[in-house]
Amino acid sequence: MSTPSLSSAELPTYTRWPVTIVRGEGSTVWDDSGRSYLDLYGGHAVAATGHCHPEVVRAIREQAGDLLFYSNVVALPVRARAAEAIAAQAPAPLSKVFFVNSGTEANENAMRLARRATGRTDILSFDGGFHGRTADAISAAGLAKYREMGKPNVPGHRFVPFNDLAAAEAALDENVAAVLIEPIQSMAGVITAPASYIQGLRTLCDERGAKLIYDEVQTGFGRTGTFFYAGRHGVVPDLVALAKGIGSGFPMGAVLVSEEIAATVKPEDYGTTFGGGPLACAAAEATTRVILEEGLLGNVRAGSLRLKQGLAGLPGVREVRGEGFLLGVALDKPARPARAALLSRGFLVGGSDLPDVLRLLPPLVLTAEEIDRFLEAARGIL
């Protein structure tokens, strides 16, 4: 295994895994000694179409040769194409896209859009939730340690337990602009909102005049086997925050909104210099096309079943939960040594806020053969 390179010029913001990655292709990455690893962490849930998908790389290269950057003060054909490609995958009435640069920025803008549309101030979110690290998003963190890091917090954030409709009903008064939810709480250990709960939240929002925001930074762009989680169980939110897989690794975020929310926006209300830049849009357009043309949604559904069935039969596995390629594997022992052992055998997997839960967030292109290879290694280790 290679030694991790931490330059003395880098702030030590993350606990680094003991590996230095220099190259990627599909679901495989290579370290600086030439050793390969099967990436079941997907570069942090980002490499949607796999590492360096040739179509995505080609689109970025071609766009780089034409125009590296111009901001939102001009129209860009590639921005228009990317917005149309993404909106075409969204259930009605979600139909308009605002491009930003990251997941946290998508959530910040989603909350601001909801506040301005309703004239209300407060945001209701959930214990266990995670929405990013800028001021408003970190103030909506239901994992208290993040909220603490973001102090002083933005006022007007309220929290209720996940999957407790009565608590949401009690908290959702006339000051609440929006309910902000990860339909599958990822960092919290992969906890899925039941259909009846999410339907109940939609009804509550409609009755009380609040907007429903899905944080689909992880669930979006095919990760759960449908293009968006929005639309599942007959529930369509008013706003969706996107990032991670949207550009297959090119930094980007977006807010997808309903016609009704879009009608409240006028020029100069919202902005970002880099959001919607040509390279990011080329990457997003290519990512969307590849997901559809290569049938990756079906691959995720089939692969997920294979992973779930294989993992459920392994010793030491208590539960496998989540959907598609957003899976939590609850062990009967701490996850950290298992992750380290898998890494030493050439498999990258994630942890979560729960010490006994492994997280799998592989590229959507992960094959059956790769899954079987991982299951065999996991059997040996667990």
For binding to ligand PLP (CB under 6 A), which residues are involved? Answer: 102-104, 107, 130-132, 182, 186, 215, 217-218, 243
Sign of CA dihedral 267, 273, 276, 278: positive
Measured between alpha carbons, how far is 72 from 168 in angstroms, rounded to an integer? 38
- Min dist CB 8 to ligand PLP, Å, is 25
Q: How far is the CB of 253 from ligand PLP (least distance, A)?
A: 6
Options 31, 39, 136, 215, the catalytic residue: 215
- Which among 159, 211, 244, 250 is annotated as catalytic? 244
Residue nearest to ligand PLP (CB): 103
* The dihedral formed by the CA atoms of 223, 188, 107 and 210, expressed in degrees to the nearest 10: 100
SS3 108: helix
**Residues facing 239 on adjacent strands:** 213, 257
**Nearer to ligand PLP among residue 214 and residue 382 (C-beta):** 214
Instruction: List all residues 6 or more positions away from 263 whose beta carbon is below 8 Å from its beta carbon.
Output: none
Of 329 and 371, the one with the shorter C-beta distance to ligand PLP is 329
Q: Which of 130, 221, 227, 374 is catalytic?
A: 130
- Shortest Cβ distance from residue 103 to ligand PLP (Å)? 2
- Tell me which residue has tokens 């996991």: 378
Q: Is 244 a catalytic residue?
A: yes
**What does residue 272 show for φ and ψ, rounded to 5 degrees?**
-170, 140
Task: Report, in Å, the least distance between residue 132 CB and ligand PLP.
Answer: 3
3-state secondary structure of 158: strand
Distances (CA, A) of 67 to 57, 61, 77, 288: 15, 10, 11, 21
Q: Which is nearer to ligand PLP, 110 or 378 (CB)?
A: 110
Q: Which is nearer to ligand PLP, 131 or 232 (CB)?
A: 131
Specify whether 130 is catalytic: yes
Q: Report the C-alpha gap between 246 and 285 in whole angstroms.
A: 9
Distance of closest approach, residue 248 Cβ to ligand PLP, in angstroms: 14
- Identify which of residues 105 and 370 has a Cβ nearer to ligand PLP in the complex: 105
Residues annotated as part of the active site? 130, 215, 244
